[in-house]
């Protein structure tokens, strides 16, 4: 579970900010129930997790295996369980592999959020939200939503790196940070006359 900053861009004629934010964010609500669909076991993720588990000490593996009540030598089962995959839930196998039926929102990004009312820019100016996009302080959110309802975010690995650097004050090299900053700046520049709000989201 984590908190992250999300920038939401709204049409310039928006009068009910809270309602518009809800309209834009509801498709990404993690608790939103959707029609049942097949969720496939991702073999690439399992292999990556097995590779990670193989780097753990025997003691750590045994602790993990004891929690899951499986053999510490069965890295594949441990990997699946770490990825929240239980073979007992498998509903079938087709040409794409093993699958289970689920109604979990595959687009889920958040489970709650609060509005950030104001921030101080680098120059010391207090910026109140909502504000015009042209008045935004230098901001690099983890995610942003454009007026057409499209969600954009840094990938999970970059998100963890940014969190460690900003909130844990760790000296972390962020390889993709520059690309993300450029993407944020490029998209924001398309909406100079729009309104901007900033949310503290949780997932």
The reported pLDDT for the residue numbered 164 is 54
pLDDT for the residue 175: 56
pLDDT of residue 74: 94
Query: How many Cβ atoms sit within 10 Å of the Cβ of residue 135?
Result: 14
Can you give the pLDDT at residue 152?
A: 92
The whole-number pLDDT of residue 181 equals: 82
Sign of CA dihedral 91, 98, 156, 69: positive
Look up the pTM and report it.
0.72
Running along the chain, 203 residues long, what does each successive block of 10 average in pLDDT?
90 96 97 93 94 93 92 94 93 95 94 92 82 87 94 69 54 62 88 95 92
Question: What residue ranges do the domains of the chain occupy?
Answer: 3-31+107-202, 37-102
Mention every residue, 6+ apart, whose C-beta is less than 8 A from residue 117.
Answer: 128, 129
Helical axes 177-188 vs 156-167, angle rounded to 10°: 100
Q: What pLDDT score does 178 carry? A: 64
What's the confidence (pLDDT) of residue 32? 93
pLDDT at position 40: 96
Q: Evaluate whether 4 touches 159 at the Cβ level (below 8 Å).
A: yes
């Amino acid at each position: 579970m984590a908190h992250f900053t999300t920038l939401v861009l709204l049409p310039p004629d928006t009068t009910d900010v809270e309602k518009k934010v809800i309209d834009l964010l509801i498709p990404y609500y993690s608790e939103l129930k959707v029609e049942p669909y097949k969720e496939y076991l991702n073999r690439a993720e399992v292999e990556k997790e097995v590779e990670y588990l193989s780097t753990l000490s025997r003691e750590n593996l045994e602790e993990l295996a004891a929690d899951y009540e499986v053999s510490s030598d069965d890295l594949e089962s441990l990997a699946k369980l770490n990825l929240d995959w239980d073979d007992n839930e498998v509903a079938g196998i087709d040409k794409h592999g093993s699958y289970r039926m689920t109604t979990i929102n595959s687009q889920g990004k958040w489970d709650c959020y609060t509005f950030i009312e104001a921030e101080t820019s680098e120059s010391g100016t207090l910026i109140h939200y909502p504000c015009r996009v042209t008045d935004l302080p230098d901001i690099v959110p983890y995610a942003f939503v454009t007026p057409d309802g499209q969600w954009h975010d840094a990938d999970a690995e970059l998100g963890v790196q940014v969190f460690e650097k900003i909130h844990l004050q760790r000296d972390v090299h962020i390889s993709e940070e520059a690309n993300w900053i450029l993407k944020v700046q490029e998209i924001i520049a398309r909406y100079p006359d729009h309104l901007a709000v900033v949310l503290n989201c949780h997932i």
